[in-house]
A and B are shown apart, each in its own frame.
Chain A
């Protein structure tokens, strides 16, 4: 069936909740309203209010109660309405979700999924355009997953729900309804921790994730007209990183360009650049480059176009690295 990302994610939750009565959903406006982006549409009607829980407005308690539920053997999916509000739950995520397995030496684990829309490009209010994935990637015990297509969105969410560890599941707001794709009706998993080469190429490897993947693909089309055929890698999982796929690609192409819509300094691009430098420095034919957002606060709607990398900026980055 042709589905957009919202429909694919919604289908994943419907089917996983049918399959396993330990799966439940909680968050602000997830029940009666079906979620502010309609991600949880129809779940309340089908599964009832014991499993589709409209909570008070309190991010820390949404994640904190999900942790307690997980310790009792349930598999909660906690929705944080926007990534810009997830900071209120940071202590629960970092101090408890990520650490309880280790703290209890394996007696307790936290198989929760924290779903949240992230990223710029939809002309939203302040705090509704954050892309601070790197904050989570530094925390041992967390997994961070970002789909870029409806097919991957469904398969990655299913894998995240079934995963035994806490998963921060970042949904690129800009791609929610950006296009439809054939998505199987059946349940399937896209494995966590595996990147995907979405376009094979030569001369340069371009690494991206989430909403930047279609931007990079568009840039690849543009530079294709001048005879450049970059290899494009969609990381899909940011923690744990699929270092091997990136390294294999870079060793083949000899160049690395990283694209992310998060600010440049200490973005995940820095880690990718560092491990490639550690493991493949002498196979590189040019310095590693990054195309990212500047180190500024995400602008409101009128200034947004200056902020996140456009296909034009990425194309320029590709041309630049090829000239080095």
Chain B
């Protein structure tokens, strides 16, 4: 897809019109759900969170290529991935409102909870892939991370293991060009992140991360390769973070308005809308329909999240170990007594 949404001849994926429209609906839902979270945060109804604005194409496009049994290790800015995989929005809001219940992943979804220390989920993704291969399970393991993560030891250790053990992994780096304030050229002297794959002995691909179809096609290819024993792939999705790093960040301290405006013109959602329109798959009625559906879904999720009670003291204790220890029981009783106004 060209920047203005025109099709690039011969390179379009074989997706049905209904799938193409579904992709767009997922991107629209992601954006609306993200903006809703931002509004809630500004109203004091949501804690600090990492907005996904601008990442709709790379997240939705790659996640759309997954099969239901494939495993996903998201990073902390991955709303589009969640929306695409059918992770309940209620859980997403609940987690960022400060309730661990939100990271209770439904048992039919092979998604890992968010790993906040940057890049540290990558070894888990490799270990899980090694286990799947040992169990003769054909699923593939996808791990998402940002450009900052590529400077971490765990990125290098994990991709090295993946290369050595030829694991069924797809590593997808959302290079949005900033790790909080640090631009990607201060993160690495390499020209691209994709080329780092060469050091680990496998293929690295640079993708236009604002092109949902390119992300879909490249991810699908890497998944097929991994599934058929071809080993891991690193995909660098070159994109831009249109929002702040988190709601506690002020991106104007480290990047110019003109730069942001320049990237806002390359809005991935608008670009795909133009594509669909050129194919005769988009009109106002369709847009209004999916906007309305997204809004209803989001409002329901927010309501459900906000009406979820805060955790009870025992909820904070019982998942420390499989069984409570005597000391934990004592400490819990002490807290419960205090709350009941019981014995000192």
Q: CB < 8 Å: which of B103, B130, B131, B165 contacts A103?
A: B103
Q: CB < 8 Å: which of B112, B128, B154, B319 contacts A106?
A: B319
Q: Give 1 or 0 for each of B265-308: 1 = CB within 8 Å of chain A CB.
A: 00000000000000000000000000000000000000000000
Whole-angstrom distance between the Cβ of B106 and the nearest chain A Cβ:
9
A266 contacts chain B at the CB level, 8 A cutoff: no
Q: Give 1 or 0 for each of B114-132: 1 = CB within 8 Å of chain A CB.
A: 0111001011111111111
Contacts of B116 in A (CB 8 A): 95
B11 contacts chain A at the CB level, 8 A cutoff: no
Q: Are B124 and A243 in contact (CB under 8 A)?
A: no
Residue of B nearest to A163 (CB): B322
Q: Give 1 or 0 for each of B227-248: 1 = CB within 8 Å of chain A CB.
A: 0000000000000000000000
Interface residues on B, range: 35 or more
Q: Give 1 or 0 for each of A192-206: 1 = CB within 8 Å of chain B CB.
A: 010000000000000
Contacts of B104 in A (CB 8 A): 104-107
Q: CB < 8 Å: which of A24, A65, A73, A76 contacts B124?
A: A65
Contacts of B101 in A (CB 8 A): 105
A72 to B112, CA, bound (A): 11
Q: CB < 8 Å: which of B120, B123, B132, B321 contacts A65?
A: B123
Contacts of A241 in B (CB 8 A): 327
A222 contacts chain B at the CB level, 8 A cutoff: no
B153 contacts chain A at the CB level, 8 A cutoff: yes
B107 contacts chain A at the CB level, 8 A cutoff: yes
In this complex, how many residues of chain A approach chain B with their Cβ under 8 Å: the count is 48
Instruction: From B24-32, B46-54, B155-163, B254-262, give the one contacting chain A.
Output: B155-163
Q: Are A64 and B319 in contact (CB under 8 A)?
A: no
Q: Are B321 and A64 in contact (CB under 8 A)?
A: no
Q: CB < 8 Å: which of B100, B117, B164, B320 contacts A91?
A: B117
Residue of B nearest to A143 (CB): B321
Which of B105, B161, B326 has its CB near the most chain A CB atoms (within 10 A)? Answer: B161
Q: Are A58 and B161 in contact (CB under 8 A)?
A: yes
Interface residues of A in 81-101 (CB under 8 A from B): 88, 91-92, 95-96, 100-101
Q: Are B325 and A50 in contact (CB under 8 A)?
A: no
Q: Are B128 and A56 in contact (CB under 8 A)?
A: no
Contacts of A74 in B (CB 8 A): 131, 134-135
Q: CB < 8 Å: which of A88, A95, A143 contacts B120?
A: A95
B183 contacts chain A at the CB level, 8 A cutoff: no
Taking beta carbons and an 8 Å cutoff, which residues of B are in contact with A?
100-101, 103-105, 107, 112-113, 115-117, 120, 122-132, 134-135, 153-154, 157-158, 160-161, 164-165, 319-322, 325-328
A-B pairs with beta carbons under 8 Å apart, 14 shown: A58-B157, A61-B154, A64-B127, A64-B154, A65-B158, A68-B128, A72-B128, A72-B132, A76-B127, A103-B103, A104-B103, A106-B104, A108-B113, A164-B321
